[in-house]
């Protein structure tokens, strides 16, 4: 519970920290809280629309809640921002037959 308390304190100190939301989205993915991961990734993107990692995490969350079309769009958008990031290509390829 200490970690949750620390995250809450961090958020109170810097509610406009895009990187914080991006990191918390990753934590939600690890905990399989995919809806929360998508919400935090979206918040990160509101604060920093050019955050390719947030787009990857948003796409991963969307994929796991079976929102395949949105996930693919997130991966494509992320790849436009960071074409050297091979995770986008792998993610797109791994489920291209689901859309």
Q: Count of CB atoms within 10 A of residue 56's CB?
A: 26
**Is 28 in contact with 40 (CB distance < 8 Å)?**
yes
CA atoms within 13 A on the CB side of 1: 0
Q: Count of CB atoms within 10 A of residue 27's CB?
A: 16
- The pLDDT tens digits of the residues spanning 4-21 come to 445 555 555 566 899 999
Please give the Cα distance from 78 to 53 (Å, whole number).
Answer: 7
pTM confidence score: 0.76
pLDDT of residue 82: 81
Query: Domains in the chain, please, with CATH?
Result: 2-98 (1.25.40.10)
């Amino acid at each position: 519970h200490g970690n949750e308390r620390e995250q809450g304190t961090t958020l109170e100190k810097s509610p406009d920290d895009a990187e914080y939301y991006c990191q918390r989205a990753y934590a939600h993915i690890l905990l399989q809280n995919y809806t929360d991961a998508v919400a935090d990734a979206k918040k990160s993107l509101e604060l920093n629309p050019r955050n390719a990692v947030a787009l990857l995490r948003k796409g991963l969350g969307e994929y796991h809640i079976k929102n395949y079309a949105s996930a693919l769009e997130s991966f494509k958008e992320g790849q436009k921002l960071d074409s050297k990031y091979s995770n986008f290509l792998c993610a797109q390829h791994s489920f291209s037959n689901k859309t």
